[in-house]
Structure formats: structure tokens, C-alpha cells
A and B are shown apart, each in its own frame.
Chain A
Amino acid sequence: MAEAVLERQEAREMEHTERTRNRRVFTPRVDIYETDDSVVMMVDMPGVSEEGVDIILEKNILTISGYTDDSRPENMSLAYREYRVGDYERTFALSEEVDRQGIEASMKNGVLKLVLPKAEEMKARRIEVKATG
């Protein structure tokens, strides 16, 4: 049943760790897709600059954190709100097939793009199916 070369699950947050910053934390939406060579993650973190992203890979746990400024307009009142501002965090468990040295990250317009190349020996080989009979 292993169609996906790489399995990915979210690591469960440790309930008792607290963050030092007293900010709301959101789980950013992600798209994850796989090509022949790599797995690509696109993470929506509006308001986060390049310097505000932390990507930590420890053993096989990948933690993505995004920090935003707490800047509010001066002398204005919030009249209508649909979204709250805060930091972002999301954690993934990577499988061993990822070539850790080759992970690339870039940030543009509030979207983090992570390219996780597959280790050479794990790249999908296309297997031809011959019709028999």
C-alpha cells in the first residue's frame, strides 16, 4: 500500500512546551506535492519576511516557524476583523528518503517554498507495464 515514496505525518505537538513569546500561533496552510526528483512544500505565512522564518530539522522532525511583527496602525481602531495576526508553526516527520543536505528554502510574498530532494537511490524508476497475452 506504499504508493507514496515518502510518507509524511504531522508530529503531535508536545502539549507542555510553552513558547517564550506570548503570541497567538497559527497552523499555516500547506500544499505538498511530489515530483520525480523531490518533494515540494509551499507554506502560506503572510506577514513573515525571510528573516522571520526558522526551519529546523532535528533527526527526522522538520519544524517550520514564522514570526510576524506586532505592528498595529497608530491612533486607529480596529473596526472590522476577519483574521487575527500571529506567528505560525507546523511540524512534519520526514522519511529517510530525503536528502537532507540538499534542502532549499525560499520566501516570496509571504509564501515559504521548501524543496526536499529525494536521495538518489530513492528516485522513482518508471517501470513499464507490458501487456501479456
Chain B
Amino acid sequence: MLWQNNGRRSFWREFDRLQREMNRIVNDFVPGTLGSFPPINIWADEESVLVMAELPGVEAEELDVSIVGDSVTLSGERRTEQADDGDVRYHRQERWQGNFSRTMQLPFRIDAENVEANFRHGVLEVRLPRAAEDRPKKISVSTA
């Protein structure tokens, strides 16, 4: 998709488009609806993107973060702990559980070698640097 990389404005336009697309797909954000776990926030600057996701109760080993080109996919399984002894009677069950997979498209391609992910207190932070070849190159204009 062609878009001009002429400064900050176009950069944010890309995220606006992303948000509109997301809003179309997940119209009512009800956790538990297919495609809406985990909730995700995205921070960005010109050089990198930081994806944050709330994944309480998920084990780090069961969390999969994968990158292809300009998109990042978070997937895994959230199981809620249960007592094995005897009968279990639920009084309330509000926490969503199951398999999840969400793919976020980012406004630039990612340098997959230098991605850092850290998972603390149930919050995942993935830092994705922009791929070198995807950085804007300054073209000098010569006067004839």
C-alpha cells in the first residue's frame, strides 16, 4: 500500500486507519468475544513500536509472539486454575479462558532479530524496532 512518509502526520494516519479497521472487526469490545483477548495498547515513535497486552494468569511459556514482515501475532492459551479435589461449584465465573490469537499490523516492517519481549505481573511488553530497510531515506536534491 502506497503512502507518503513525509513526516509525522502520515505516520499517525496509518494508525488511524488501523484503529478504524480494528473497530470494524471488533465492534463491541467484550472480552471473551473471539479476537478480543488480550486487550492491546500500542505506543510508537519513528523508530519502534511498543505493543503492550494484558495477559493475567497466562504462563510465559504458553505465550507465543511471532513476527512476519510488518505484523506481530500474539497467541497462546489461558487456562484458569482449578482445584482437582472433589467437586467444584462455581459461584462466579467472569474471567475468560481459552485459546487466543491476535495479529496486529504495524505501520512499518520490523527488525525481527532485535525484538525484545518481557512479561511481568501479567503484562506483556514487546518492543519492536523498525527494520533498517524500512526507514525513510533522505534524498538530497541537487540544484541544476
Q: Which residues of A contact B (CB under 8 A)?
A: 4, 8, 29-37, 39-40, 42, 44-49, 72-73, 75-83, 108-111, 113
A55–B29 alpha-carbon span in the complex (Å): 30
User: Are A36 and B91 in contact, CB atoms less than 8 angstroms apart?
Assistant: no
Instruction: State which of A8, A34, A83, A113 has its C-beta within 8 Å of the C-beta of B54.
Output: A83
A83–B53 alpha-carbon span in the complex (Å): 9
Instruction: State which of A32, A34, A42, A44 has its C-beta within 8 Å of the C-beta of B81.
Output: A42
Instruction: State which of A34, A44, A78, A80 has its C-beta within 8 Å of the C-beta of B91.
Output: A34
CB-CB nearest in chain B for A5: B89
**Shortest distance from the beta carbon of B7 to any chain A beta carbon, whole Å:** 14
Instruction: State which of B31, B39, B87, B90 has its C-beta within 8 Å of the C-beta of A32.
Output: B90
CB of B19 within 8 A of chain A?
yes
User: Are B40 and A80 in contact, CB atoms less than 8 angstroms apart?
Assistant: yes
In the bound complex, residues from chain B placing their C-beta under 8 Å from that of A40 are 83
User: Are B122 and A109 in contact, CB atoms less than 8 angstroms apart?
Assistant: yes
A110–B83 alpha-carbon span in the complex (Å): 19
CB of B82 within 8 A of chain A?
yes
Binds A, one of B41-49, B108-116, B133-141: B41-49
**Shortest distance from the beta carbon of B32 to any chain A beta carbon, whole Å:** 10
Instruction: State which of B41, B43, B82 has its C-beta within 8 Å of the C-beta of A33.
Output: B82
**Shortest distance from the beta carbon of A115 to any chain B beta carbon, whole Å:** 9
CB of B59 within 8 A of chain A?
yes
CB-CB nearest in chain A for B43: A76
User: Are A76 and B89 in contact, CB atoms less than 8 angstroms apart?
Assistant: no
A104–B15 alpha-carbon span in the complex (Å): 45
Known: A80-B22, A82-B39. A111 touches B85 (CB 8 A): no
Known: A46-B55, A83-B54. A77 touches B45 (CB 8 A): yes
User: Are B87 and A36 in contact, CB atoms less than 8 angstroms apart?
Assistant: yes
CB of B67 within 8 A of chain A?
no
Listed residue (B80, B90, B95) with the most chain A CB atoms within 10 angstroms of its CB? B95
Q: 28 A–B contact pairs at CB < 8 A?
A: A4-B89, A30-B94, A31-B92, A32-B90, A32-B91, A33-B89, A34-B89, A34-B90, A35-B87, A42-B57, A44-B57, A44-B122, A46-B121, A46-B122, A49-B121, A75-B45, A76-B45, A78-B43, A79-B43, A80-B18, A80-B40, A80-B41, A82-B39, A83-B39, A83-B40, A109-B56, A110-B55, A110-B121
